[in-house]
Amino acid sequence: MNKNTVLGYATLIMIAMGVILIALGAFRYDDVAGWGFAAVGIGFFANAWVFNALKGRV
């Protein structure tokens, strides 16, 4: 398994965790904690975008 494969799997895991956190914020928590979960989920999406951009360059 080379570096690009590892970055690809990391990107998929980060996207899945981002979707899970945003769903938790939207459907499970109705108070201020939901906004925190959604913000962290968006941060996971940003990290996944960076990992995807690094594929092929590392």
Give residue 27's pLDDT.
93
Going by pLDDT thresholds of 50, 70 and 90, the confidence category of residue 48 is: very high
Going by pLDDT thresholds of 50, 70 and 90, the confidence category of residue 38 is: very high
For residue 28, the 8-state DSSP code is I
Going by pLDDT thresholds of 50, 70 and 90, the confidence category of residue 46 is: very high
d(CA 22, CA 3): 28
CA dist 8 to 4, 20, 48, 52, 56, Å? 6, 19, 9, 7, 10
Give residue 49's pLDDT.
93
Q: Please compute the mean of the pLDDT values over residues 2-15 and round it to a whole number.
A: 91
Mean of per-residue pLDDT scores for the chain: 91
